[in-house]
Amino acid sequence: MDGLPAPLLYFMVTPGAPVRLHRIRNDQLYHYYLGDPIEVLMLRVDGTTERVVVGPDVGGGQLVQLLIPGNTFHTARVIGRRRWFLGASTEWPGVEPADVEIGDIDTLAAKYPRVADDLRTFPVPVLEGRALSRPE
């Protein structure tokens, strides 16, 4: 790193609060801390996709850290019995609101047809009893 800040943002994922489909201009690193694992679906700029589980079971193939390349659309949902995940995301050299783009499920399903049906199975975050469909 060249001395620029790399902020760490803690976040919790639950069935009602999954990771919203989005992308960030810069690279980011997800970290597992406590709770159940999350399943992350990444839609890469080159048209490929990848599903990764971030959690504590390294022997079972889970990762305790996941590098998400810049401009990769991704979403995540909690899997497991406790139904919550506590983790963090580090972005460098940091993130400004203009660096974040919320993904449109229909547009991305058309661009990534091999995972279109799967993409639609990821829950949409709920705020005050209503689904979030657009940035507010």
Distance CA 35, CA 32 (A): 9
* pTM of the entire predicted model: 0.87
pLDDT digits (tens, 9 = 90+) for 84-108: 999 999 988 888 889 999 999 999 9
Residue 108 · residue 43 · CB < 8 Å: yes
Residue-wise pLDDT tens digits, 13-35: 999 899 999 999 999 999 999 99
**Average confidence score pLDDT of the chain:** 89
For residue 63, the cross-strand partners are 54
- The full set of domains in the chain, from first to last, is 11-120 (2.60.120.10)
d(CA 47, CA 112): 7
- Residue 78 to residue 118: CA distance in whole angstroms: 15
Nearest alpha carbon to residue 11 among 60, 56, 78, 106: 78
